[in-house]
Amino acid sequence: MSKLKDKVAVVTGGARDIGRSISIELAAEGAKVVINYNSSASKAEETKKMIEDAGGSCTIVQADLTTMAGVHKLKDATVAAYGDEVHVLVNNTGGLVARKKTEEVDEEFFDLLVNLNYKSTFFVTQAIRPLMGDGGSIINLSSLAGRDGGGGGATLYAAAKGAIMTLTRGWAKEFGPDGIRVNAVAPGMIATKFHDDFTPDEVRTKVAGMAPLRRQGYAEDVADLVVYLATDKSAYITGTNIDINGGLAFS
Burial class (CB in 10 A: 0-12, 13-18, 19+), 55: exposed
The helix-helix angle for 155-175 and 107-114 (nearest 10°) equals 40
What 66-73 contacts at long range (C-beta under 8 Å, 24+ apart), as own/partner pairs, is 66/112, 66/115, 66/116, 66/119, 66/120, 68/123, 70/38, 71/120, 71/123, 71/124, 71/126, 71/127, 72/127
Distance CA 201, CA 159 (A): 25
Backbone angles phi, psi at 195, to 5 degrees: -80, -25
Enclosing H/E stretch for 186:
strand 181-187
Catalytic residue among 118, 157, 218, 228: 157
Question: Percent helix, strand and coil across the chain, each rounded to 5?
Answer: 50, 15, 35
- 157 noted as active-site residue: yes
Enclosing H/E stretch for 230:
helix 219-230
Of the candidates 46, 10, 42, 45, the one whose C-alpha atom is nearest the C-alpha of residue 27 is 10
Distance CA 192, CA 187 (A): 11
Active site members: 157
